Copies of this chain bind each other. A is one copy, B any other.
Amino acid sequence: MPDFIYNNKVYYNPVEFAMDRIGGTWKMPILWRLKERVFRFGELKKDIPHITDKMLTSQLRQLEADGFIHRKVYAIVPPKVEYSITDKGRTAIPIIETIRNYGLELMEGEGIKSK
């Protein structure tokens, strides 16, 4: 598997490519919530501990640009914006679940109990 370039960025392998789309601290927590229902900006912010306005905005923008979520703006005041997961976004859910379960497995192996 040689290197390849996409949007001016060099990737060494498919794992890097995947993690560039759904990795980082916030993308999976966001997708994980949107799999259940539509969320507004403020709802996501309340529901995801520690996330800042800036990170929420930037991660939503990237997920949208990559086609994982959809952004619907209502032209009212105060503004209302709804975020929903797309079909493409849904393909990430089983992956997240796999990683999440693996994390739980590792945690159990270390005797970490959180909930």
Contact = CB atoms under 8 A, between A and B. Distances in A.
A30 B44 CA distance: 36
Contacts of A28: 13, 15
Interface string A91-114: 110011011111111110110101
Q: Summarize A's interface: helix, strand, loop or mixed.
A: helix
- Total identical chains: 2
Contacts of A102: 14, 18, 91-92, 95
Interface residues of A, number: 40
A83 B58 CA distance: 40
A12 interface: yes
A55 B31 CA distance: 31
Contacts of A42: none
Interface of A: 1-4, 6, 12-19, 21, 23, 25, 28-29, 49-50, 88, 91-92, 95-96, 98-107, 109-110, 112, 114-115
